[in-house]
Structure 1
Amino acid sequence: MRWLAEYSLEAIAQAVRQVAPELDGRPITTRALVNKDDPMWWSSSAVIDGQYVAKFAWSRAAAERLAHEIAVLDELPVPYLPKVVASSTDPLLLVTELVAGASLFEVIDSIDRDEAGRQLASFLGALHACGGAYPPATLQPASTDVLRKRFGRWARPDQQATVIKWCEWVEKVLGTPRGSVLVHGDLHGGNQVWDGGQLRAVVDFETAGLAEPEYDLRAFPGTGPGVELLTATMHHYPGELDPERVMAWHVRHALGDALWRSEAGVPLPDHRTPPEWVADLTDRFAALGVAPS
């Protein structure tokens, strides 16, 4: 496996020339870099001629994730995948067709959530039914130990005991083993492309692997007002999903996101505060009829 020596337009163009020579010479538009101080995140994407997306990396850690995505996309017989135009690990590059549309975050207030849930359930059902020898998914949410030790300073004093209680409940719920399936691993709204109320593509399979099916729904309770998207997806899903396990993962996901952003001085995505996110979690538990005790 050979990744880019550096992040530069010249290095990207050279990789495109080798992997997809039919696209050589077409204009390449790069993205602004984030987290560029940590080699773990030395990866990005560029748009070629307004029609294709090229993903690349320039460190071993980032390259391993992209190589994993290339291998996964090469095997998956599921709907809503972007069409792979070319891929290679020497040099490391993944080129897919650009899918027109907007992220779920941008359209959630304007689409029918039951229909959206039906489409997401179709994708998840097909993905979770895939066989194959896959490694465990890279589980990203903060652990309950981390939340118990560090989140308190960001919550209101009257919320701190509640957060501790939630951590104990999460440990109890997730302490019981659950069968593993192939999961996307990072199925938030930014990794979904929607257009005209239709799911056009699910992207970014770098963390795909084996985990319980509820893990893939951990961001759904916080997508849009209320929990309608989650309940619709669970209703249409071709199998059994446990709302308690979804919410247990959601607690780790939501509080973990609020924690790292607060500690890094990065605004929360909706520009509100950690105490407001704790209040939102309380409302979501109530809406789902889940009692974390």
Structure 2
Amino acid sequence: MIDSPAGKRLARVLSALGMSRDVEAVPLESYSNDAWRIGDQIVRVCWRGDIGRLRREAAVVPLLPAEIPCPEVLADGDDGELAWTVTRRMPGQGLHALWPTLNEAERRAAITQLADVLRTLHAWQPPEPVRGLLLGRLRSRPKGPAAIVGADLCPLPVERAQVLVSHAEPSSGLGLVASRLAELAALDPYLEEPQGVVHGDLHFANLLWDKGRITAVLDFEWVRLGPPDLDLLPLLRSVDWAGTGDAELLPPQETARILGWLADDYPQLFEHPRLIHRLWLYQLANTVRELYTWPPAAPEQAAADHPVNNLPRFGLGPHHLHDLLPPA
């Protein structure tokens, strides 16, 4: 383990924490970082992109309202190249893995609880200096594609997505997407400075479920100031748009049912008068970013749900979102 790149990073962190390198560290699935279970603790190591995001998470989580269950932050730090957090392990399993096993009543209860979490988070006003941290991040100006990709999952303001389009390897959908981004620029929520806080990555894998309740909301590393409806994007990212049957994704009709329940429980989340087009903007920006995080060996070898295939699909129009969202 220690000989692998991730193992060497963990060894550096353990040394900084004053912990033995001989501990039993079990690797965990993580999309953005290295993650390890060591006894009843979880160690996460950030080594790419804006490593400051774990330090922001560690500043935000202890101050969140008690209604948002989160792992206790035991330690955090960075050495200029790596950042890390140590948190208490929470009971439960990822909701994405358990979803197929839940009955109708349990699924409905899960979405009601998700709505409660989102409503509470979006109403929360962070104290200083946490708000200053989030404002500083919002006002930063990442230069170039690598910095933009490392800053946010949804590269907004829209100029950031446009930079990514201009530097991306040519693909069939990019010209159309560039035109769509220009058309949708007036709906960019960052034309004004947003006041509320959004999680930024609240898909089902970041919710732990145990005995009929959400026991933990995980991974606030992408927390940012933003409009509440930005927290709908992770649910759109979890849709099996290409019909691959991937167990990690949900069929469109299942997501439509989830969004209908969410709209019943938290109608304010869906109140923007041009919500479909704004979600379309978020989806296009995020998919352009995925060109950089999931580069294909060759376009003809790309998976059906690869961004080089999704971009032409999404660029045609927001009809796929009309079918997904509840009636206004």
**Alignment TM-score > 0.5, same fold:** yes
SS at match of 2:220: coil
CA distance in 2, matches of 1:278, 1:195: 39
What pairs with 1:75-86 in structure 2 (closer than 5 Å)?
75-84=63-72, 86=74
- Deviation for aligned residue 1:25: 6.0
Pick from 111, 126, 135 the counterpart of residue 117 of structure 1: 111
Question: Is the contact between residue 69 and residue 206 of structure 1 (CA under 8 Å) also seen in structure 2?
Answer: yes
Which residue number corresponds to residue 223 of structure 2?
Answer: 208
CA distance in 2 between counterparts of 1:154 and 1:60 reads 27
Question: Aligned residue for 1:28?
Answer: 25
Task: Please tell me whether the aligned partners of residues 129 and 181 of structure 1 are also in contact (alpha carbons under 8 angstroms).
Answer: yes
| Matched ranges for 1:56-67 at <5 A | 56-57=45-46, 61-62=50-51, 64-67=52-55
Larger mean CA deviation between 135-144 and 71-80 belongs to 135-144
Of all paired residues, the percent bearing the same amino acid is 22
**Cα root mean square deviation, aligned:** 4.1
> Which stretch of structure 1 is more off in the superposition, 184-193 or 251-260?
251-260
Query: Quick check: 1:243–1:290 contact (8 Å CA) kept in 2?
Result: no
Give the drift of 1:11: 2.3
User: SS at 1:218's partner residue?
Assistant: helix
Distance in 2 (CA, whole Å) between partners of 1:45 and 1:276 is 34
| 1:101 to partner: Cα distance | 4.0
Correspondences of 1:1-293 after superposition (within 5 Å): 7-17=8-18, 26-30=23-27, 43-49=33-39, 51-57=40-46, 61-62=50-51, 64-84=52-72, 86-89=74-77, 93-111=84-102, 112=104, 113-132=107-126, 133=128, 134=131, 135-136=134-135, 139-142=152-155, 143=158, 145=162, 153-155=171-173, 166-167=180-181, 170-174=184-188, 177=192, 180-195=195-210, 198-223=213-238, 224=250, 225-226=252-253, 227-237=256-266, 239=268, 241-242=270-271, 246-262=275-291, 264-265=295-296, 273-274=309-310, 275=312, 281-288=318-325
| Counterpart Cα distance in 2 of 1:201 and 1:118 | 15
Q: Which residue of 1 aligns with 2:3?
A: none
Gaps of 5+ in 1: 1-5, 35-40
Residue type matched to 2:77 in 1?
T
TM-score by length of 2: 0.64
Unmatched 5+ stretches in structure 2:
1-6, 139-150, 239-249
Q: Secondary structure at the match of 2:221?
A: coil
Are 1:215 and 1:246, in contact at CA under 8 Å, matched by a contact in 2?
A: no
| SS across alignment from 1:153 | coil
Provide the secondary structure at the position in 1 that maps to 2:42: strand
Give the whole-Å Cα distance in 2 for the aligned partners of 1:55 and 1:74. Answer: 17
Cα drift, residue 185 of structure 1: 1.9
In 1, Cα distance between equivalents of 2:233 and 2:47: 30
Going from structure 1 to structure 2, the CA distance change for 1:279 and 1:54 (only over 3 Å counts) comes to same
Deviations 1:93-151 (A, max 9, x none): 42222234443433444444532321111111111122224224565324363587669
The CA deviation at 1:164 is: 6.7
Q: Distance in 2 between matches of 1:106 and 1:286?
A: 25
* Whole-Å separation in 1 of the counterparts to 2:99 and 2:326: 23
Structure 2: which amino acid aligns with 1:17? G
Distance of 1:229 and 1:126 partners within structure 2: 19
Secondary structure in structure 1 of the residue aligned to 2:120? helix
Distance 1:57 1:168, change over 3 A: closer
CA distance in 2 between counterparts of 1:44 and 1:83 reads: 17
Is residue 95–residue 204 contact of structure 2 (8 Å, CA) maintained in 1?
Answer: yes
Counterpart Cα distance in 1 of 2:324 and 2:85: 41
Q: Give the conservation status (yes or no) of the 8 Å contact 1:16–1:93.
A: no
Structure 1 residues 240 and 70: alpha-carbon distance in aligned structure 2, compared to 1, 3 A threshold: closer
Distance across 2 between alignment mates of 1:248 and 1:78: 34
User: TM-score, with normalisation over the residues of structure 1?
Assistant: 0.70
Counterpart in the other structure of 1:37: none
Q: Which whole-Å deviations, capped at 9, do the CAs of 1:223-248 have from their partners, x for residues lacking one?
A: 43332222322321274532555534
Q: In 1, are the aligned partners of 2:209 and 2:215 still within 8 Å (CA)?
A: yes
